[in-house]
Amino acid sequence: MAKESGLGMSCAVDDSGGSARTISNDITNLDFETPRNTHDITGLDKSAMERLLLLADFSATLNGVFNDASNMSHDVFKTVPSSSVTRTITLVQSGQTLATECVVSNYALGRANSGEFTWSAPFSLQNGAVPTWS
8 backbone φψ class: left, alpha, beta (φ>0; ψ -120 to 50): left
pLDDT of residue 1: 62
pLDDT of residue 75: 97
Question: Is the CB of residue 104 less than 8 Å from the CB of residue 76?
Answer: no
Cα distance between residue 14 and residue 102, in whole Å? 10
pLDDT of residue 6: 84
Question: Is the CB of residue 34 less than 8 Å from the CB of residue 58?
Answer: yes
The number of angstroms, rounded, from the C-alpha of 72 to the middle of its chain's C-alpha atoms is 16
pLDDT of residue 91: 97
Cα distance between residue 100 and residue 58, in whole Å? 8
With a cut of 50, list the residues of the chain below it in pLDDT. Answer: none
Ordered domains of the chain (ranges, CATH):
10-40+52-125 (2.40.30)
Q: What is the pLDDT of residues 101-134, one digit of tens each?
A: 999 999 999 999 999 999 999 999 999 999 999 9
